[in-house]
Structure 1
Amino acid sequence: MKKKEEWYSFSQQNNGAMVETDIRMIPLSELHDFNGHPFKVENDMALFELMQSIEKEGVIVPALARPKADGGYELIAGHRRKAACKWAGLDCMPVVIRDLDDNQSVIAMVDSNLQREHLKPSEKAFAYKMKLEAMKRQGARTDLTSSQVWQKSTSSQVVTETSDQDGPELYNPTTKAYALQSNYDVDGNWCITQGDMISSSVRSDELLAKQVGENRMTIQRYIRLTNLIPKVLDMVDEGKIAFTIAVELSYLTKEQQYELYEVMDIEQCTPSLSQANRMKRMSQSESLDMDAMFSILEQEKPNQREQIKLRTDSVAKYFPEDYTPKQKTDLIERLLKEWYEKQEREKKQGSDSSRGRAR
């Protein structure tokens, strides 16, 4: 596919003044992932469809990046577009280059990704934490006068700015929101016009909750998940551990979480909400150990179906070393199915033989 080398003109109204920003074609090799980027780029069907769209129409919405001190650019928004471009065999993509500070970059990065339809709990957890910390830093500092941050939405963008007033760490002393309407003019330039200003004094976590459509306590619960060890957090993403249960388990120490993971693997079950809450209280009273975990998980949960438990170490020798847990489960199920079908055939043959002798 032929590369587009032209530059695009981007017009933004900033406090009454129009600022021109060029959209440049940047080599993919010069675009580096955002430091601590919490959103996973997976080679799934959605990315494949994005790649096909880019092959046909090119990148419609430019990415956003900022210059790096050691060369190249740090990608703020557009990680999936970059991956799709690479998949499509392109070597560059359109990018808006902006000189944003660390806090502005974090907020813009999070906002551009929170619009995605499907987000894993771990992605929300680290994204909310990163953005809330950036918002608190903006509220506590006095040198961030008129600091602008983009918030991506379907048909408009929002720029927030903080005043030069001092205030408690948890607050943005004065938050001013400008509704920006975006569209293309007759020459094909991307133009943004600024609407009315809304000014209010608000807690950072309350502002974040309003922006993402959650309540403040839900935001805090998601952030609790960042205290989980990776193995347990993966189980939350996979739906093996419910969100509310995961929040309770986040109060366990790292060592206790590793022990719990081993116990769950041996017992082949996960704790209920009441069991997780009990572990949390025992952890806080420093009385939780592996024996207590076994004792708690062995208690039958309401509506718990009968389970057959196999100790990992007792069956591991029968599998290739590189087999994953899923491959082991699939093999066991297949062998059991073959055994069952064999039993049914032998039973049928025995029945036919009996009828033959009766004649």
Structure 2
Amino acid sequence: MPKRKEMCSSVSIEPDKGIVMMSISELHDFKGHPFKVERNPELFELRQSIEKEGILIPLLIRKNPNGDGYEIIAGHRRKEAAIWAGITELPVIIRELDDDQATIAMVDSNLQREKILPSEKAFAYKMKLEAMKQQGRRNDLTSGQVEPKLENETLEIYPLESEIDENGRVIIKQKSGKKGIRSNELLARQVGESVNQIKRYIRLTHLIPKILDMVDQEKLALTSAVEISFLTEEEQYELHAVMEIEQSIPNLSQANRLKRMSQQNRLDMDSIYEIMEEVKPNQREQVKIPLERVGKYFPADYTPLQQIELIEKLLREWAKQNKNISR
């Protein structure tokens, strides 16, 4: 390609010039990008597709506001798969976007993925909600409003929507003829979650990384994690240490008690131990005997209750005999 050298020069490339080729070394991740890019089976499949057919959808980028080169808006996984495949240049579309436009486009493009971790949703929802607030303020849609804390967001704005057209152009516009609604309600509609669920996810951003990882790994329930998010950072580290030592995960009731004790300034390592050492119903040891191993010993008309009663009776007799023998 005779123009390849020029096309790879960040000095000569301007926005809205269509699809151009660019060196991967000039492409930088979006600042605060909340979505994990890992070399897993899904990325390996993308790598194989790129090796066979090339990159069919160009990356969307903008000039890097934090330094040299360009910042990726959409295409982080494509970039990583290309690196894995040994590709050094990628097709890109450059657009002029401010921080809020870029954030909304970045989040929207990634929320289309099939599997999204709770931690990814948490930071993505938080970032997009803050960008929506800024969009509303700049359009003078919130004059006279008192700005609340993010997790209790009630800012009233007019509906804004983003879309990427067939040429890769990001369009963010205000829906005409619509009454203003609260930003968290609008976000909930856009992502298909309830407002309360949005708030729950955003609360996860207050968790320390080790506990947030437990949510992603489905070791800790989302509802319990939300309660734990109200603990101080130091208390969370202490709780995590106790969880590892005791090999126990707090249920919702225990997590709620930890939260209340923290709010009352009564939570310390001893009280954490006391709560976590409790035996939960689902953690009591149980002995399960497969029916195919013992069923043949019972009369055909015996109910499960009768089978259990007979087993208990035989065990009592065995215990008595064993006691006499030990004497």
TM-score normalised by length of structure 1: 0.68
Q: Which amino acid aligns with 2:122?
A: A
Q: CA deviation at 1:109?
A: 0.9
- Could you tell me which of 153, 173, 186 is aligned with 2:157? 173
Question: 1:140, 1:191 → 2: CA distance?
Answer: 24
Give secondary structure in 1 for the equivalent of 2:113. coil
| CA contact 1:121–1:222 (8 Å) conserved in 2 | yes
Query: Which residue pairs with 1:12 in the alignment?
Result: none
Structure with greater proportional helix content: 2
Question: 2:231, 2:142 → 1: CA distance?
Answer: 39
Query: Which residue pairs with 1:136 in the alignment?
Result: 133
Query: Which residue pairs with 2:312 in the alignment?
Result: none
Query: Which residue pairs with 1:297 in the alignment?
Result: 276
Name which of structure 1's ranges 211-220 and 294-303 shifts more when overlaid on structure 2: 294-303
Query: Which residue pairs with 2:22 in the alignment?
Result: 26
Question: 1:227, 1:190 → 2: CA distance?
Answer: 35
Is the aligned partner of 1:62 residue 2:47? no
Question: 2:269, 2:32 → 1: CA distance?
Answer: 33
Q: CA offsets, 1:264-301, max 9 Å, x none?
A: 11101111110101111111111111111111111111
- Could you tell me which of 258, 264, 282 is aligned with 2:261? 282
Is the aligned partner of 1:114 residue 2:111? yes
Q: CA deviation at 1:306?
A: 2.8
Query: Which residue pairs with 1:147 in the alignment?
Result: none
Q: CA offsets, 1:242-282, max 9 Å, x none?
A: 11110010011111000001111110111111010111111
Question: 2:241, 2:24 → 1: CA distance?
Answer: 42
Q: CA offsets, 1:122-170, max 9 Å, x none?
A: 111011111111111111234xxxxxxxxxxxxxxxxxxxx66735344
| CA contact 1:106–1:130 (8 Å) conserved in 2 | yes
Query: Which residue pairs with 1:48 in the alignment?
Result: 44
Give secondary structure in 2 for the equivalent of 1:134. helix
| CA contact 2:73–2:102 (8 Å) conserved in 1 | yes
Question: 1:44, 1:274 → 2: CA distance?
Answer: 36
Give secondary structure in 1 for the equivalent of 2:92. strand
Query: Which residue pairs with 1:158 in the alignment?
Result: none
Query: Which residue pairs with 1:85 in the alignment?
Result: 82
Q: Which amino acid aligns with 1:208?
A: L
| CA contact 2:105–2:170 (8 Å) conserved in 1 | no
Q: CA deviation at 1:221?
A: 0.4
Per the alignment, do residues 297 and 91 of structure 1 end up closer, same or farther by CA in structure 2, a change over 3 Å counting?
A: same
| CA contact 1:136–1:204 (8 Å) conserved in 2 | yes
Question: 2:266, 2:254 → 1: CA distance?
Answer: 14
Per the alignment, do residues 259 and 164 of structure 1 end up closer, same or farther by CA in structure 2, a change over 3 Å counting?
A: closer
Query: Which residue pairs with 1:146 in the alignment?
Result: none
Question: 2:168, 2:128 → 1: CA distance?
Answer: 27
Query: Which residue pairs with 1:269 in the alignment?
Result: 248
Query: Which residue pairs with 1:335 in the alignment?
Result: none
Question: 1:213, 1:72 → 2: CA distance?
Answer: 35
Give secondary structure in 2 for the equivalent of 1:303. helix
Give secondary structure in 1 for the equivalent of 2:158. strand
Query: Which residue pairs with 1:75 in the alignment?
Result: 72
> 1:161-200, aligned counterparts within 5 Å?
166=143, 168=145, 169=147, 170-171=154-155, 173-177=157-161, 199-200=178-179
Per the alignment, do residues 270 and 164 of structure 1 end up closer, same or farther by CA in structure 2, a change over 3 Å counting?
A: closer
Q: CA deviation at 1:100?
A: 0.7
User: Percent of pairs identical after alignment?
Assistant: 58
Query: Which residue pairs with 2:305 in the alignment?
Result: none
Per the alignment, do residues 194 and 74 of structure 1 end up closer, same or farther by CA in structure 2, a change over 3 Å counting?
A: closer
The two structures, once aligned, show a CA RMSD in angstroms of 3.1
| CA contact 1:177–1:199 (8 Å) conserved in 2 | no
Question: 2:114, 2:285 → 1: CA distance?
Answer: 36
Per the alignment, do residues 181 and 297 of structure 1 end up closer, same or farther by CA in structure 2, a change over 3 Å counting?
A: closer
Per the alignment, do residues 305 and 29 of structure 1 end up closer, same or farther by CA in structure 2, a change over 3 Å counting?
A: same
Q: CA offsets, 1:158-185, max 9 Å, x none?
A: xxxxx6673534435333558x6955xx
Give secondary structure in 1 for the equivalent of 2:283. coil
Per the alignment, do residues 181 and 141 of structure 1 end up closer, same or farther by CA in structure 2, a change over 3 Å counting?
A: closer
Q: CA deviation at 1:200?
A: 3.2
Per the alignment, do residues 199 and 263 of structure 1 end up closer, same or farther by CA in structure 2, a change over 3 Å counting?
A: same
Question: 2:171, 2:5 → 1: CA distance?
Answer: 24
| CA contact 2:16–2:93 (8 Å) conserved in 1 | no
Give secondary structure in 2 for the equivalent of 1:52. helix
| CA contact 1:7–1:22 (8 Å) conserved in 2 | no
Question: 2:169, 2:103 → 1: CA distance?
Answer: 24
Give secondary structure in 1 for the equivalent of 2:282. coil
TM-score normalised by length of structure 2: 0.75
Question: 1:182, 1:241 → 2: CA distance?
Answer: 40
Query: Which residue pairs with 1:313 in the alignment?
Result: none
